[in-house]
Amino acid sequence: MISSSDILHGKILIVDDLEANVLLLARMLATAGYTSVASTLDPLEVCELHRTNRYDLILLDLMMPGMDGFQVMEGLKEIEPDGYLPVLVITAQPGHKLRSLQAGAKDFISKPFELAEVLARVHNMLEVRLLHGETKNYSKELEQKVEERTRELRENQAEKNRVTEQLIQAEKMAAIGTIASGIGHEINNPLQVIMGTAEVIRGEKDISACNEHARNIIKHTKNIVAIVNNLSGYSRPTSQHELVEIDVHEKLAEALAMAKFALLDDRIEIRKNFAPVPKISAKPEEIQQVFFNVIRNGIQAMVRNKGILEITTTLEDSQVCIRIRDTGTGIRTEHLGKIFDPFFTTKGPDEGEGLGMYIVQKIVNKYNSSITLESEVGKGTTVTIRFPAVKPV
């Protein structure tokens, strides 16, 4: 029979394009006593590594550049003559779990990682895998015992999966409640200002005062429109056939025009330092939304609507790099880590619209890209976005 020592000596391969995830999983397994743990950041290496080493378990991330986890599993099927695919997929998307099981994976672990869940699923998978290998040499009686034990493990795992799914659903409902509450708060603030201003206009006879009130209504209406546009733009799923090759300079120009029109501002000096860069592959309206939100934030940060907005594009390590720098008020150090949180804003309580940078980060992450912030109070903020280039210049 399989002993604890056999399980701890099982050969494991971790596959994830993010080194931080690999290091975290490796540390979890090493702490639990696993002695044979290998890893790779390159999905293209997996099949050859498995053909050479015949791993007992492969922890496989699904979303990777170059070759995703589903394509890796297709390659592994050709190597496994007995049809048993020793794959434990890693995913943050609930919708990917059923698809991965249908593709041949035996189980999954969710992101962010929970130590107890990772160790339990790895232990169970290795036990089943090692038992599966022994059935080729054991008698019929022993095969029956293995099948019984395997069935018990699967039943236990099915119960764990059911409980996990219930927890996922509970988390979803809690998240929906939080989002609904946040949206209600974000929209309620400008609506209250609009209603109050409208009441003032009803009794106002001074035309110039009415015009000022009207500008205030327009301003807060635009905040509501921005919230709705951000939500509706990100809520639509992106399919592969919607991706096109995009000229970032064209999208930056369109976003600049939109931002200046939306903010009724023409006193900001725009500096463009555009280097020849390759195109990127993405959904055009999502990239325009990313650029518009970042540019709009930069313009809004300018004191008395005066300052410089500088946009620089470069090609760095096969990535199209866009830096958008403003000379605005800057962001305090304690706020930098919260900029991408939903509904967080450094503006006043009546400004609303704390979703822009949250949506920006979500869209950027969809394209295996990155966004970073550097800021100094009183001197301004620099936002850097990096997209994989489609092809060299």
pLDDT at 183: 62
* Structure token digits, residue 289: 């939304």
pTM for the predicted model, two decimal places: 0.45
More confident residue, 260 or 8: 8
Q: Which residues fall within 8 angstroms of residue 380, CB to CB, at 6 or more apart?
A: 301, 307, 325, 326, 327, 328, 329, 330
DSSP label at 10?
-
pLDDT band per the 50, 70, 90 thresholds, residue 272: very high
More confident residue, 154 or 370: 370
pLDDT band per the 50, 70, 90 thresholds, residue 349: very low
Query: d(Cα 115, Cα 117) in Å, to the nearest integer?
Result: 6
Sheet holding 37-40, edge to edge: 37-40, 12-15, 57-61, 87-91, 107-110
pLDDT at 215: 74
pLDDT at 4: 84
Query: d(Cα 246, Cα 248) in Å, to the nearest integer?
Result: 6
Average pLDDT score over residue span 253-267: 69
pLDDT at 352: 40
Query: d(Cα 60, Cα 73) in Å, to the nearest integer?
Result: 9
**Average pLDDT score over the chain:** 80
pLDDT band per the 50, 70, 90 thresholds, residue 38: very high
Q: Is 56 helix (H, G, I), strand (E, B) or coil?
A: coil
DSSP label at 305?
G
Judge whether residue 295 has pLDDT over 70.
yes
Judge whether residue 267 has pLDDT over 80.
no
pLDDT at 351: 43
Judge whether residue 292 has pLDDT over 80.
yes
Highest mean pLDDT among 45-59, 260-274, 312-326: 312-326
pLDDT at 35: 93
pLDDT band per the 50, 70, 90 thresholds, residue 315: very high
Q: How far is CA 322 from the centre of its chain?
A: 19
Q: pLDDT tens digit string along 184-234?
A: 655 665 676 677 777 777 777 777 777 777 776 776 676 666 666 666 655
pLDDT at 151: 83
Looking up tokens 């997929």, which residue turns up?
89
pLDDT at 48: 92
pLDDT at 171: 66
Dihedral through CA 326, CA 318, CA 238, CA 94, nearest 10? Answer: -100
Judge whether residue 243 has pLDDT over 80.
yes
Lowest mean pLDDT among 254-258, 268-272, 353-357: 353-357
Judge whether residue 138 has pLDDT over 60.
no
Asked if residues 59 and 121 have their Cβ atoms less than 8 Å apart, the reply is no
All domains of the chain in start order, with CATH: 4-137 (3.40.50.2300), 236-393 (3.30.565.10)
